[in-house]
A and B are shown apart, each in its own frame.
Chain A
Amino acid sequence: MIAKHDVLVVGAGCAGMRAAIEAHDAGADVAMISKLHPTRSHSGAAEGGINAALGNAAEDSPEIHAFDTVKGSDYLGDQDSIEIFCAEAPGDIIQLEHWGAVFSRRADGKLAQRPFGAAGSPRTVYAADITGHVLIQVLWEQVCKREITVYEEFFAWQLVVNDGRCQGVICWDLLRGGLKTLGGKTIVMATGGAGRQYRATTNAYACTGDGMAMALHAGLPLKDMEFMQFHPTTLYPSGVLITEGCRGEGGYLINKDGERFMKRYAPNALELASRDVVSRSEQTEIDEGRGVNGSVFLDLRHLGAERILERLPGSRELAMTFAGVDPIYDPIPVRPGAHYHMGGIATDSDGATELDGLYAAGECACVSIHGANRLGGNSLMETITFGRRAGRAAAEWALSHTTVEVPESAERDAERELRELLSREEGERPWKLREELGQSMLENFGVFRREEGMARQIEIIQGLRERYRNVYVEDKGHVFNSDLTQAIELGNMLDTALCMVTAGLARKESRGAHSRPYDYPNRDDENFLHHSITRWRDGEVELSTAPVRMTKWEPQERKY
């Protein structure tokens, strides 16, 4: 063990940094671990905005926000957590503004708010179309101000569970090489999503579900893993995100004939229906031959140059750089792409997991406020509100406990496992497996899912896991060995993907992002209004269920 801290935060995106700041302010000695540098985290790529019922642009309230979120979740969100979330969001936004976040403004000097999908009021606070970047910067500034320790380019690999408590993290030091163990009275996981399981994704190379896999391997339950959100507007061909803010500002979705096809799928909300609805509509248009190159179009021409340059300059830059299209003159080719994991490490409203000393927040966690489908703008807000709550709870627990112990056997076992992987002199290179996983997940566990496709996907993943035992790391060096970390990431993606498809196969209904139009086209509240729980037992997935926490909203039919 190279160092001990009261609170160790794994991951340094928005949730991780917000948790670290809160734990520090609560009086704990905090350190963050990141396989990147904090500002490189993928929270920074969020574009459109962050939801809080400030009521600056139109009348709004936390109750309306909560109802929108419950309905958006297709009634699978835990309503007690959603109520806390919506009530505390406005205060958290004001605090970010006081810290210096460079948000866009209204004419009266208040924070500007724009309409977003499935929202009853324009409540998305934004900074042009680089909201995530602005948040990452302001949180990093506050981390610098507090001089919080950061273990940069430390690749977290395994959790140390000792005496029924989580007490440490075993990491690979990317810059200097070698396994390094860090001890913590409490550990907060904030490692983000796993979108790299899919070939077409908005996610960064770093989004490989490491934290989910670490928790899974430590015996913790992952909740609602079958719900992967497909974002309706990812750029063709590169897959980078084009913000929902484009539609919030009034952008149209059109097919190859120029028809605003959303009128046929969501006659009232049109382009601003919830993401699962819009993605399914696009996929139907594409499948029925009304797309071009497997894409439809996001048309911003009517917004005019002024508005595009002022509100959506980043999206224009992305479209021009990666697709050679200037949205002032031409529609942007877009298609649905894997974007956000609604599921994750099961936690309560304070980020606590069922293991003492282990907390989780942000995309890697499942509180759950998103249920079966997340609303745009709710995830950045979740990182802040639940990052803060998890940081506070972790600090309080840490300050009332004294010892940290990591048994040497844990470090020895990890050393042995690593040596085994590094000493393999032949075998398959990881990239082939990674590409096969990405392609097959898209085909068999994408926007629409079929029974036989999912069954086949389980076999494919099992086959890949078998081959994974034989992957070969070419770089044997100690300095910046990303060949090694990429091999470990592949293992994490395979195990979490297995949880996803196993849970998906068992959910014989269509709810939110889990859509089975060919055999179970409807929601089935009688049999499936429950969370899916997946655990690791002897290297395989064990599936169970847990009840949804309801407060005041009864499930209704969901129409936009």
Chain B
Amino acid sequence: MQVALKIWRYDSSTGERALKEYEVDAPEEATLLDCLDLIKDRYDGTLAYRKSCRMMICGSCGMRMDGAAVLACKTRMYEIAQAGRVPVISAMGNLPVVKDLVVDMQPFWDKFRAIKPYLEPGYEQPEDGREYRISQEQMNVIHKESLCINCGCCVSECNAMESNPEFLGPQALAKGMRFVGDPRDAATVERLEAYNSEHGIWECTRCYFCNERCPKGVDPRDAIAKLGAESVRLGIDRDMGARHAKWFIRSAETTGWLRETELVPKTQGVVASIKQMRFALSLARHGKVPPPFPPHVAKDVREARNLRKLVRMQDRQGALGHVQGERALERLAHGHAGETLEEIYARPGAAPRPYLPGDETEGAA
């Protein structure tokens, strides 16, 4: 098939930038990475990009296609070529470009190192000198976070990082959750204190681009939410973000709806609120603030309270609440309809039923 690509070329030694178009003849199963290889071999040996495993595990080939981060090795080109589209390929965002599609990963790794990315072993090593005894259910808490391949796609797309490059970012924080959720780690409180500080979890804008673009299903935003939930559960809630979140719950629990007038003082404190009095009065003049007294109580407030009670009863507070919800959703996402094996063997066009030679009458062995 003919595949056409436009590639943003960049030469850091001269500062020159140019959008160049290439067309290659590629096999139908070709990925974006295969097409880049063809271009480099046959047309332009100076094209620079990273690659290694070509099986979605090494994390080398993160780049942008039409402005969204992808792994080049995971991106099949057949449908794009059939549709006659000419995608634009460029380097990842939020990281300095070195050459063509190669970015400088140093800022990425600096943040990775900043979150103390290693286990701080628990106080009690197993007495028999063997492994820690931990159930699979306990390990499942960090299942998604441990899938991360450090490719940088989430960082590339992070809106909070774009406005504040100091933000620790989705990758580092997901790695943080990998340790906070690990029962063998003894530094949960220290970690959460650190991740709650400036440029930590509460700087995330919840745009969900990281979840959207992660090629491995790590869902970094969910990891950040889990860190927030764990922080609040353990009383690490001095940050405005935590206070903001807590007030949401309190407000919903008491009156069944969000009391915005109280949100500012509860989040930012009384002093900061007084400083914003002029702004608040102006809002009120334009009818943007409902009168705070008497508080309006929603008709079905009991239901909100019961929901909250249910969460408490099931002990699904903190990170655990998220995990259980996710696992249920995961099952739905797999699209498995629960067919029996017989039904699967009988599907139209199914491959023949397996049998052992000399045992044909028995069917599947």
Contacts and interface: CB of A to CB of B under 8 A. Distances in A.
Interface of A: 36-37, 39-42, 44-45, 93-94, 97-100, 102, 104-112, 127, 130, 132-134, 137, 141-142, 144-145, 175, 204-206, 237-238, 240-241, 252, 254, 256-261, 263-264, 297, 299, 301-302, 304-305, 309, 314, 317-318, 321-322, 328-331, 429, 431, 473-475, 477-483
Interface residues of B, number: 78
- Listed from nearest, the 7 A-B pairs whose CB atoms lie closest are A474-B45, A258-B352, A109-B133, A100-B119, A431-B41, A141-B118, A145-B118
Contacts of B40: 482-483
Contact of A102 (B13, B76, B129, B146): B146
Contacts of B76: 321
A328 B139 contact: no
B332 interface: no
Contacts of A480: 48, 98-100, 102
A259 B13 contact: no
Contacts of A302: 341, 354, 364
B121 interface: yes
Interface in B1-60: 11-13, 27, 29, 40-42, 44-46, 48-60
A260 B365 contact: yes
B364 A141 contact: no
B41 A429 contact: yes
B360 to A, nearest CB: 9
Contact of B117 (A130, A141, A205, A483): A141
23 contacts: A36-B50, A44-B53, A44-B57, A102-B139, A102-B182, A105-B135, A108-B133, A144-B112, A204-B58, A238-B29, A238-B55, A257-B352, A258-B353, A260-B355, A302-B341, A317-B56, A318-B56, A429-B42, A429-B45, A479-B12, A479-B13, A480-B98, A482-B48
Contact of B357 (A37, A102, A263): A263
Contacts of B149: 39, 44, 133
B194 to A, nearest CB: 15
B354 A144 contact: no
B350 interface: yes
B292 to A, nearest CB: 49
B163 interface: no
B44 A105 contact: no
A130 B147 contact: yes
Given A109-B133, A205-B51, A137 B45 contact: no
A258 B351 contact: yes
B142 interface: yes
B356 interface: yes
Contact of B131 (A110, A240, A257, A261): A110
Contact of A321 (B74, B118, B356): B74
Interface string B125-151: 100011111111001001000111110
A339 to B, nearest CB: 13
B46 A102 contact: no
A93 B135 CA distance: 18
B53 A104 contact: no
Given A105-B134, A305-B334, A474-B46, A40 B60 contact: yes
A378 to B, nearest CB: 20
A310 B313 CA distance: 28
B185 A100 contact: yes
B234 interface: no
A43 to B, nearest CB: 10
Contacts of A108: 133
Contacts of A133: 57, 147, 149
Given A97-B131, A102-B146, A204-B54, A483 B119 contact: no
A483 B49 CA distance: 11
B41 to A, nearest CB: 4
Contacts of A107: 135-136
Contacts of B49: 482
Nearest to A432: B41
Given A130-B147, A144-B117, A305-B334, A40 B59 contact: yes
Interface of B: 11-13, 27, 29, 40-42, 44-46, 48-60, 74, 76, 98-100, 102, 104-105, 109, 112-113, 117-119, 121, 125, 129-136, 139, 142, 146-150, 178-179, 182, 184-185, 334, 336, 338, 341, 344-345, 347, 350-358, 364-365
A39 B320 CA distance: 29
A304 B341 contact: yes
Nearest to A292: B351
Contacts of B74: 321
A205 B136 CA distance: 35
Residue among A39, A104, A106 with max Cβ neighbours from chain B (10 Å): A39
Contacts of B132: 97-98, 109
Contacts of B59: 39-40
A99 B119 CA distance: 6
Given A238-B29, A328-B344, A44 B58 contact: yes
A111 B131 contact: yes
A242 B323 CA distance: 28
Contacts of B130: 94, 110
Contact of A39 (B50, B150, B182, B347): B150
Contact of B139 (A105, A175, A205, A237): A105
A99 B44 CA distance: 45
A97 B178 CA distance: 15
Contact of A475 (B45, B54, B350): B45
A235 to B, nearest CB: 9
B334 A309 contact: yes
Nearest to B330: A309
A263 B29 contact: no
Nearest to B28: A237
Contacts of B44: 474
B336 A206 contact: no
A304 B139 CA distance: 23
B344 A109 contact: no
Contact of A263 (B102, B139, B336, B356): B356
B98 A431 contact: no
B50 to A, nearest CB: 8
Given A94-B131, A330-B350, A240 B118 contact: no
A431 B45 CA distance: 10
B280 to A, nearest CB: 47
B130 to A, nearest CB: 6
Contacts of A111: 131
B179 to A, nearest CB: 8
Nearest to B148: A137
Given A109-B133, A475-B46, A478-B13, A252 B354 contact: yes
Contacts of A41: 58
A309 B117 CA distance: 28
A429 B44 CA distance: 11
B171 to A, nearest CB: 12
A19 to B, nearest CB: 18
B182 A94 contact: no
A94 B131 CA distance: 6
Contact of A330 (B55, B60, B139, B351): B351
A430 B351 CA distance: 42
A81 to B, nearest CB: 25
B115 to A, nearest CB: 10
A322 B29 contact: yes
Nearest to A476: B46
Given A94-B131, A104-B136, A477-B46, A144 B118 contact: yes
